[in-house]
Amino acid sequence: MSMFDGLEERMVLVVEDDAQMRIALSKSLGVQGYPVVLAHDGHEALECLERQTIWLVIADMNMPGKSGMEMLRQIRSAGNQIPVVLMTAYGTVETAVEALKLGATDYLQKPFPLERLEEMVTRLRNETQDLPEGEKDQVEVESQPMGLLTCNDRVRRTIKMLEAVAPSQATILIQGESGTGKEVLARYVHNLSPRANRPFVAVNCAALPDGLLESELFGYEKGAFTGAIARRSGKFELAHQGTLLLDEIGDMSLGLQAKLLRVLQEREVDRLGGRQPIHVDIRVLATTNCNLQQEVQAGRFREDLYYRLSVMPVTLPPLRERPEDIPLLADYFVELSFRRNKRSGVGITPEAIACLKSRPWRGNVRELENAIERAVLLAEAGPLRIEHFAFEESFSRPESLPTATGSIWEMERALIMRTLERHGGNRTHSARELGISIRTMRNKLREYRELGPGV
């Protein structure tokens, strides 16, 4: 039997505007035995999908004409769950999340070795080739990420609600602690709206003093104040026909709140120093990490503006209230960080996940991502282990471990001793379960005998 048997039915569509890259991808897939169809942009790719039966789409994210993201959005809107892998040379966490939340099956950051592509295609083939047809459909649907990477029922209900109102012009107020993913969710709403191909402009209201924030929002005419040497359009104008995100709006002064209210009511902006109002067609989204109702009661936020903004209020819970999301997010950030930092490691041990789940995460998802990034930089190879996170002094222990001192040293010691006990004292088996080398195990035990009682 040939190693290529059955592959002739798995046709791959490569969508790439760079001719050399198209050829390289085609040759690599051809060597694996996959028939390949080529397209130079999203328009041609969509036409091809109507004519032929395609198993997998591999597309560049940024192309002239119809981009890979636009193509993916159209494919998913039509209810087609075909696997789509996006590639980009301008990869960030935000673009990766954006691609995944729109339904991308995987994400490749250029430049990548062709071996990485071959491994990914092989994995996709193995994931579905032995499944019954009904189970294939279920796996494909369930694997499609939503607005946030989550398996929490409360967050899922929030996302479903936002998906329902995204096509409307309703103003949405997204509340939650810093780092919970409020801006990611705002971008998701924008991408599902009729304004998806128009600008998405974000303004951090907490990062700028009042005078500067006013000029940033409304713009100014030449000579409006000292240093205004030329006319400048504000964020409202830049977001015309698109979406304006007012990030951390609870920190806006009362004076600016009054001007913002007028813009929301009249859809007109007055530049500083200007004589005529400027019409703007925008959809406004707002985020806040404070309780605006309490701010209204305290007299620090206008009640009329609050009701204008909270046509559709939603709240994202902090990460500590949805610990079931931590393994999902950790796996995603680990893979992304290893790839971004060009490290050879992959994965994270169950014991390290247990440590991550025990942490309060006051900085929420943003803090988790940063902790994993640092751990990846400390890890030489292989999966992330507990020791790669040990530099975090504030790391708390899993609840199942002893809580005598709460130190990292005690947590690590208790975990190793418990694992040894479970394996009858076998150091090799215990080290394998913990994801550490037998040499590290010996060194740790020697350290415990020297520094700790009862070992």
Backbone region of residue 154 per phi and psi (left: phi > 0; alpha: psi in -120 to 50; beta: other values): alpha
Give tens-digit pLDDT for 259-290: 999 999 999 988 888 888 889 999 999 999 99
Q: Are residues 131 and 181 in the same domain?
A: no
Q: What is the pLDDT of residue 220?
A: 84
| pTM given for the model | 0.56
Q: Are residues 352 and 309 in the same domain?
A: no
Range of weakest confidence among 111-120, 135-144, 349-358, 410-419: 135-144
Task: List all residues 6 or more positions away from 55 whose beta carbon is below 8 Å from its beta carbon.
Answer: 9, 10, 11, 12, 82, 83
Q: Are residues 363 and 242 in the same domain?
A: no
Q: Are residues 279 and 236 in the same domain?
A: yes
pLDDT at 364 exceeding the cut of 80? yes
Q: For the chain, what percent of residues have pLDDT higher than 70?
A: 83
Total number of domains in the chain: 3
Cβ proximity of 437 and 430 under 8 Å? no
Give tens-digit pLDDT for 74-100: 888 887 888 898 888 765 556 666 676
> What is the H or E stretch that residue 304 is in?
helix 303-309
Q: What is the pLDDT of residue 295?
A: 93
Q: Are residues 136 and 160 in the same domain?
A: no
> What is the H or E stretch that residue 27 is in?
helix 19-31
Select from 98, 123, 142 the last residue of a domain.
142
Q: Are residues 134 and 210 in the same domain?
A: no
CATH number for the domain that contains residue 250: 3.40.50.300
Integer CA distances (angstroms), 59 to 19, 28, 455, in order: 13, 15, 56
Select from 268, 294, 317 the last residue of a domain.
317
| Domain membership flag for residue 129 | yes
Q: Which of 222, 245, 246 is nearest to 233 (CA)?
A: 222
Give tens-digit pLDDT for 393-428: 444 444 443 333 344 566 667 778 887 887 788 887
Angstrom distance (rounded) from CA 270 to CA 268: 7
Give tens-digit pLDDT for 174-193: 999 989 999 989 988 988 88
Q: Are residues 312 and 325 in the same domain?
A: no
Angstrom distance (rounded) from CA 326 to CA 364: 10
Q: What is the pLDDT of residue 309?
A: 93
Give tens-digit pLDDT for 349-362: 998 998 898 888 98
Q: Are residues 169 and 297 in the same domain?
A: yes
| Domain membership flag for residue 176 | yes
Residue 375's domain comprises 321-451
Q: Could you tell me whether strands 84-88 and 283-288 are parallel, antiparallel, or unpaired per DSSP bridges?
A: unpaired
Give tens-digit pLDDT for 211-232: 788 888 888 888 777 777 777 8
Q: What is the pLDDT of residue 95?
A: 64
pLDDT at 386 exceeding the cut of 50? yes
- Residue pointed to by tokens 């050879």: 344
Provide the token pair at 91.
């990869």
